[in-house]
């Protein structure tokens, strides 16, 4: 069994907590197919910067 890295765990936590909010925002601004693409792009950028991510709960507004 492989143990996830701390970076992967941070990313998973952030995506679990924020994905529905990101999708809801995207749906208010575009069609459902494009909204899914936007969410994928957002989390791709987040994954690339995962090393500098902080816990969303440490922010005043959360996600």
pTM of the model: 0.68
The pLDDT tens digits of the residues spanning 35-49 come to 999 999 999 988 887
Q: What is the mean pLDDT of the chain?
A: 83
Instruction: Give the dihedral sign, CA 15/18/24/28.
Output: negative
């Amino acid at each position: 069994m492989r143990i996830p890295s701390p970076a992967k765990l941070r990313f998973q936590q952030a995506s679990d907590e924020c994905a529905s909010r990101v999708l809801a925002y995207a749906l208010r601004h575009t069609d459902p197919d494009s909204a899914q693409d936007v969410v994928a792009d957002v989390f791709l950028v987040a994954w690339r910067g995962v090393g500098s991510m902080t816990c969303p709960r440490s922010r005043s507004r959360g996600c």
